Amino acid sequence: MEKVQLSEKSFWKIFFLSMFTLGIYGIVFVIGYIRDLNILCDGDGKVTPGFGKVFWLSLITCSIYGIIWTYNQGNRVQENGPRYGLEIAESGLTLLLWCCIPIVGSCISLFKMIANQNAMIAVYNSQLNS
């Protein structure tokens, strides 16, 4: 896989643009998150499924697949953190527990997902430039 420079994400940009665009920007974010996660974790033997699969399976299973997806991505990031010299504190279970708190908890979970991926992206990009 060709190495490309990845862009860090801003929680607040995603939050406000998702509200302003009635969720369309949120879809764009998830597509980019999945693409970047697959690049960052390449070689770990796992592949994060694309947005279409996540969306439809979440819809069909009344969000159960979305919960499982969040759990799996949290664990995948935590497992791959050491490849970048990072200790990722939040596991998939931690992200799910935050989601149990209505509205605010989901935002905190998303914030932590973005922060963890951004930490990996910073190291990944610095490795490309050295």
pLDDT of residue 17: 97
Ordered mean pLDDT values, 10 residues apiece, the chain (130 residues): 88 97 96 96 94 95 94 97 96 95 93 97 92
pTM: 0.92
pLDDT of residue 1: 61
Q: How far apart are CA 102 and CA 89, in angstroms?
A: 22
Burial of 43 (0-12, 13-18, 19+ CB in 10 A): exposed
DSSP assignments along 53-98, one per residue: HHHHHHHHTTTHHHHHHHHHHHHHHHHHGGGGT------HHHHHHH
